[in-house]
Structure 1
Amino acid sequence: MALKFEIVPVTAFQQNCSIIWCDKTKEAALVDPGGDVAKLIAKVDELGVQVTKVLLTHGHLDHVGGTVDIAEAYKVPVIGPEKQDAFWLQGLPKQSEMFGFARTESFEPDQWLNDGDSVTIGDSTLNVVHTPGHTPGHVVFVSDEDRLAWVGDVLFNGSIGRTDFPKGDHETLISSIKDKLFPLGNDIRFVPGHGPTSTFGVERQQNPYVADSMPIW
C-alpha cells in the first residue's frame, strides 16, 4: 500500500480527522481537521510526515473548525469541498454559537472541488466524488490503488448521514451512496466522519438504510 493513514478523533463530537501520507515520499494531507489543533500537530510531529495540504469533505463546523489554524501552521492550501457548501463555511461564526464552540471565523478554501477532480498526496492520487445529500457540496476522496475512501458524513458503519440540516436531502443522500459510492467496489474500506471504519461491501450487506439483496462476493 502506498498510502498510510492515522485517525485522530477531535472535539467533543469525536470527529475523525485523518492524517494521510504517501509511504514513499512522506508527504501528507489532513482530512477534516475539526479542531484540537495542538493534538493534530503533535501527531504529525510524531509520525514524521510533511503536511502539504488540507482536504475538506464538507463545511460543517466539527469537520472544519481547525482548518485555518492548520493551514497557517504549515503554510499549505485548503482544498475542498464543492462550492455549494460555501454557505456553511460563511456561516461558521453562527455555527460556533449554535454548538457552543469557540468562535470560528468564516473562510474560503484555496480550491473548490468538482466531481471527477483528483488531488495528489506524494505519489498517490485521490479521486473526488461529489456526494450531496448530507450537505449539497459534500465530496468523498477515493484511492483506487489502495482501495480506501474518506467519506465524511455521507456513510457510517451501520448508518448514514443526517439530512435535516439546511439543504440536506434524504433521497439525494441515498442516491449518492448507492449510485456513486457502492459501484466503486465492495472491497473499498472507508473512513467515516465519526465512528469505526467499514467497507462498502459490509454496508451493502448489513446497513439498514442502504443494504441491498445483491450478492457481494
Structure 2
Amino acid sequence: MKYRIIPVTPFQQNCTLLWCEQTGKAAVVDPGGDLPLIKAAIAEEGVTLEKILLTHAHIDHAGGTAALSHELGLTIEGPGHEDEFWIEGLPKQSQMFGFPNVDVFTPDRWLEEGDRVNFGEVELQVIHCPGHTPGHVVFYHADSSLALVGDVLFQGSIGRTDFPRGDHATLIRSIKEKLLPLGDEIRFIPGHGPMSTFGQERLTNPFIASRFG
C-alpha cells in the first residue's frame, strides 16, 4: 500500500490518499475540503478512487465528503455510528468555523471495532478509539506498519476533548490500550501535523509518557 498526505482546509487537516500498488484502486481518508487539491492528487498518482473512509465527523475531516461522494459516485465507510450527531451538525459546524456550506450524508457503512475495510488487495483493520469523538475510528495496515489515527494522537500532543461527548480519560485509554500495544515501530499519520511513531510518543509525549507522571 502507498499513501500521499494532502493537507486541506484552513486547519491543514491531513487528508490521505491510500492506494493498492497491484490494482491502482484507492481510498481517500478524511476529505475535509479543498476538493480540487484532492482530485489533482488522484490524477497525478493515476489511481482509481473507490471509496471515502472517515475517522470521525468533525468539519475539517468530513466537510468534503458529501460533495466528493456525489461527484465521483463513491461509497462512504465510517466513522462509528456514535458520530451521527456530528454528521447531522455539519451545516452548523461549517457556519461556526467559516467553512463553505456542506451537505449532510449517511455513510454506506458505519464502522465498529474489528471491522475490515478494503480497496484493491489492501485490507485495513478498524480500531474504535473514542475520546475525541465517541465514534472515532483508526485505520491500521499491519503489512505497512502504518496507522491513520485522525485526531486521537499527534506528535507531542493528543486530540481535544472539550467538544460535545469528548472525554479525556476515554481518549487516554484509547491511546494506551488500543494504539500503543500495536508496537513502538508503528508509524502513524495524525489528523494534523507531522507523522511520528507510537514508540516515540510513548517515550516523549507529555500526555501519555509515564515519565511525565
Scaled by the length of structure 1, the TM-score of the pair is 0.96
The corresponding residue for 2:48 is 50
What amino acid is the match of 1:94? Answer: K
Regions of 4+ moved over 2 Å: none
Q: 1:121: Cα distance to partner?
A: 2.1
**Equivalence map 1:160-179=2 (5 Å):** 160-179=158-177
**Equivalence map 1:83-94=2 (5 Å):** 83-94=81-92
Which range moved further: 106-115 or 79-88? 106-115
What amino acid is the match of 1:195? Answer: G
Which of 15, 34, 37 is matched with 1:36 structurally? 34
The corresponding residue for 1:207 is 205
The corresponding residue for 1:141 is 139
- Per the alignment, in what secondary structure is the counterpart of residue 165 of structure 2? coil
> What are structure 1's unaligned runs of at least 5 residues?
none
> What are structure 2's unaligned runs of at least 5 residues?
none
- Per the alignment, in what secondary structure is the counterpart of residue 13 of structure 1? coil
Q: 1:101: Cα distance to partner?
A: 1.1
What amino acid is the match of 1:119? Answer: V
Q: Deviations over 1:20-56 (max 9, x none)?
A: 0011111100000000001110110010001011000
The corresponding residue for 2:58 is 60
Which range moved further: 21-30 or 204-213? 204-213
Q: 1:212: Cα distance to partner?
A: 3.1
What amino acid is the match of 1:178? Answer: K
RMSD of aligned Cα (Å): 0.8
Q: 1:71: Cα distance to partner?
A: 1.2
The corresponding residue for 2:124 is 126
The corresponding residue for 1:81 is 79
The 8 Å contact of residues 66 and 104 in structure 2, kept in 1 or not, is answered as no
Over the matched positions of the two proteins, sequence identity in percent amounts to 57
Which of 88, 95, 98 is matched with 2:96 structurally? 98
Equivalenced residues, count: 211
Q: Distance in 1 between matches of 2:103 and 2:183?
A: 38
The corresponding residue for 1:116 is 114
Q: Distance in 1 between matches of 2:34 and 2:68?
A: 10
Which range moved further: 45-54 or 104-113? 104-113
